[in-house]
């Protein structure tokens, strides 16, 4: 959440900027896989040494950025500054891309059951009995 707040006000560090691109990249991969991903494997790839190594590799960062730009353009994201390779997009443009990707992929609708499970702490939502 702190990354989103900082992106809104352009108060991010260089590492946070790269992490935001990685977030977009990972989300694009989830959408391409039609949300059929191994969440444990993704969690392992995005913690500790694995994350540090991924963020330190500038060649893979460029590939991630191009992949994100390609698919967002292909899916209809309209923001000319996002695609301008002569200057890097601002963190607000990355935040806009993230919000657009959430809406485009119907992220929250598709993960509604998982979100409820996390919030309620059980596998089924409990509704109170209603009288007839």
pLDDT > 70 fraction of the chain, expressed in percent and rounded? 91
Residue 130 lies in a domain: no
Q: How many domains does the chain have?
A: 1
Q: Which domain holds residue 39?
A: 2-105
Indicate if the pLDDT at residue 53 is higher than 50.
Answer: yes
The overall average pLDDT reported for the chain is: 84
pLDDT value at residue 127: 53
Classify residue 96: in a domain, yes or no: yes
HEC sequence for 55-66: HHCHHHHHHHHH
Is the separation of the CB atoms in 10 and 92 below 8 Å? yes
Residue 128, pLDDT > 60, answer no
Answer whether residue 91 is part of any domain: yes
- Residue 121, in any domain of the structure: no
Q: Work out the number of other CB atoms within 10 angstroms of the CB of residue 54.
A: 17
- Distance between CA atoms of residues 132 and 115, nearest Å: 30
Question: Is 101 a member of any domain?
Answer: yes
- Residue closest to 77 by CA, chosen among 48, 105, 45, 44: 105
What is the C-alpha separation between 31 and 75, in angstroms, rounded? 11
């Amino acid at each position: 959440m702190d990354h989103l707040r900082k992106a809104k006000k352009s108060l991010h560090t260089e590492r946070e900027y790269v992490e935001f691109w990685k977030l977009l990249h990972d989300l694009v991969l989830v959408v391409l896989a039609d949300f059929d991903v191994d969440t444990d494997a993704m969690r392992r790839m995005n913690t500790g040494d694995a994350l540090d190594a991924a963020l330190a590799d500038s060649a893979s960062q460029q590939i991630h950025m191009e992949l994100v730009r390609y698919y967002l353009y292909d899916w209809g994201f309209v923001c000319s500054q996002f695609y301008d390779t002569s200057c890097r997009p601002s963190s607000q443009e990355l935040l806009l891309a993230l919000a657009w990707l959430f809406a485009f992929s119907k992220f929250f609708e598709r993960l509604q059951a998982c979100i409820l499970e996390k919030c309620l702490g059980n596998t089924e939502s409990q509704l109170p009995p209603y009288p007839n």
